[in-house]
Amino acid sequence: MENNFEKKTNKIGNFLVRGFHYLALFAIGSAIVWSAFFTFLDLAEKTSASIEDILLLFIYLELGAIVGIYFKTDHMPVRFLIYVAITALTRMLLEFLNKWHDSKIEEIHFEILTICGGIVLLALSILVLRYASHNYPSKSDKN
What gap in Å lies between CA 114 and CA 111, rounded to an integer?
Answer: 5
CB 126 within 8 A of CB 79: yes
Q: How much of the chain, in percent, has pLDDT values that exceed 90?
A: 45
Instruction: Summarize pLDDT for 70-92 with one digit per residue, the tens.
Output: 888 878 778 889 999 999 999 99
pTM assigned to the model: 0.75
What gap in Å lies between CA 15 and CA 62, rounded to an integer?
Answer: 29
CB 80 within 8 A of CB 130: no
CB 96 within 8 A of CB 112: yes
DSSP characters over 29-82: HHHHHHHHHHHHHHHHHSSS--HHHHHHHHHHHHHHHHHHHHHHHS---HHHHH
Instruction: Summarize pLDDT for 41-53 with one digit per residue, the tens.
Output: 999 998 888 888 8
What is the residue extent of each domain of the chain? Answer: 2-142
